[in-house]
């Protein structure tokens, strides 16, 4: 075999190895690469729509708290605002309610204002801008810091709503999770009382993150706090038993939400907290 033939054979062999190994030469996806592309693509996002599901049950001696929630949520970036609407089934101390919930969160006069409605009764709460809530930030995963480097990529792709998705999994701290989801969502939109945020912020919480392969944008975030909360309550010497504490946030659409405005009748009915 001549030198040119040998070089040609070597090139073909190298190319074949790259294809078969699906690594190195092929630029195989890694969690770090995917996270970086998500952050870059989210920077161009003007709005997104979400579907939120919660399944929470906590027992304490003879009483228990159960919250099942199903809500549609929309967010805009400029101006930063959020709107959530759906149903909540709540059982506390033997009393059960099945309610319609609706929440608006907007910026007014340099403050973050939240209008919370349940079965037609509205409350208004004012806080500093950036205090957390339902208006998600496009820098969703900037809060994850070094935790993102520890994520693992599943071997198989999954399918959500007919779209191919990467699936990654790992642990984030409670502080990072509050930065991603907001403290209100983590506390069941105010329906669940957890130990103080300092204790929760130290937890290592398992998260599954699904990412649309084509758009390279978040598809779904699945959080299961059941085991870590049980460990926390045990460590604090409290009798609470967490049967399940699961939050799932699905991203259904990007860049389709129009400006979110609080209806005048809501402003008129809202009672300042």
Provide the phi-psi class of 173: left if phi over 0, else alpha when psi is between -120 and 50, else beta: beta
Mean pLDDT of all residues in 118-126: 91
For the whole model, what pTM was predicted?
Answer: 0.82
Q: Name the band, by pLDDT with cuts 50, 70 and 90, for residue 130.
A: low
Instruction: Tally Cβ neighbours within 10 Å of residue 115.
Output: 20
Q: What pLDDT, on a 0 to 100 scale, did the predictor assign at position 17?
A: 39
Cα(262)–Cα(203) distance, integer angstroms: 36
- Cis peptide leading into residue 79 (ω within 30°): yes
pLDDT digits (tens, 9 = 90+) for 134-152: 767 666 666 666 677 789 9
Cα(236)–Cα(271) distance, integer angstroms: 36
* Among 10-19, 137-146, 232-241, 248-257, the range of highest mean pLDDT: 248-257
Contact 203, 174 (CB under 8 A): yes
Residue from 259, 161, 257 nearest 212 by CA? 161
Residue 95 tokens, joined: 């009393």
Q: Name the band, by pLDDT with cuts 50, 70 and 90, for residue 27.
A: low
* Lowest-confidence region among 18-27, 121-130, 169-178: 18-27
Q: Give the SS3 label for residue 13.
A: helix
Give the dihedral of Cα atoms 117, 47, 177, 187; nearest 10 deg: 10
Q: What pLDDT, on a 0 to 100 scale, did the predictor assign at position 60?
A: 79
Mean pLDDT of the chain: 84
pLDDT digits (tens, 9 = 90+) for 198-231: 888 889 999 999 999 999 999 999 999 999 999 9
- Residues with Cβ < 8 Å from 98, sequence gap 6 or more? 87, 88, 89, 90
For the chain, the domain total comes to: 1
Locate the DSSP E strands across the chain. Answer: 47-60, 63-76, 81-92, 95-108, 111-118, 121-128, 152-153, 158-160, 163-173, 204-212, 218-224, 241-254, 271-272
Q: Which long-range contacts (CB under 8 A, 24 or more apart) does 80-84 make?
A: 80/107, 80/135, 80/137, 81/105, 81/106, 81/107, 81/135, 81/259, 81/260, 82/106, 82/133, 82/134, 82/135, 82/136, 82/260, 83/134, 83/260, 84/52, 84/134, 84/189
Residue 213 tokens, joined: 């392969």
Structural domain span for residue 141: 3-272
> Residue 85 maps to which CATH number?
2.50.20.20
Q: Higher pLDDT residue, 265 or 128?
A: 265
Q: What are the backbone angles phi and psi of residue 87, rounded to the nearest 5°?
A: -115, 150
Cα(214)–Cα(14) distance, integer angstroms: 28
Contact 247, 181 (CB under 8 A): yes
């Amino acid at each position: 075999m001549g030198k040119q033939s040998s070089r040609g054979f070597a090139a073909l062999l190298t190319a074949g190895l790259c294809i078969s190994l699906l690594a190195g030469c092929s630029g195989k996806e890694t969690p770090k690469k995917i996270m970086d592309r998500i952050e870059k693509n989210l920077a161009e996002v003007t709005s997104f729509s979400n579907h939120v599901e919660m399944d929470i049950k906590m027992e304490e001696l003879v009483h228990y708290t159960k919250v099942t929630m199903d809500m549609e949520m929309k967010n805009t970036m400029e101006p930063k605002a959020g709107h959530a609407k759906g149903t909540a089934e709540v059982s506390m101390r033997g009393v059960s309610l099945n309610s319609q919930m609706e929440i608006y969160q907007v910026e007014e006069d340099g403050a973050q204002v939240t209008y919370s409605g349940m079965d037609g009764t509205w409350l208004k709460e004012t806080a500093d801008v950036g205090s957390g809530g339902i208006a998600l930030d496009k820098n969703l995963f900037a809060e994850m810091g070094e935790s993102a480097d520890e994520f693992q990529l599943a071997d198989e792709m999954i399918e959500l709503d007919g779209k191919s998705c990467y699936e990654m999994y790992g642990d984030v701290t409670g502080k990072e999770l509050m930065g991603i989801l907001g403290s209100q969502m983590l506390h069941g939109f105010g329906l669940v009382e957890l130990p103080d945020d300092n204790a929760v912020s130290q937890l290592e919480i398992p998260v599954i993150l699904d990412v649309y392969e084509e758009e390279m944008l978040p598809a779904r975030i699945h959080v299961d706090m059941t085991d870590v909360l049980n460990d926390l309550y045990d460590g604090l010497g409290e009798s609470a038993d967490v049967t399940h504490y699961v939050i799932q946030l699905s991203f259904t659409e990007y860049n389709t939400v129009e400006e979110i405005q609080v209806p005048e009748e809501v402003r008129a009915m809202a009672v300042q907290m």
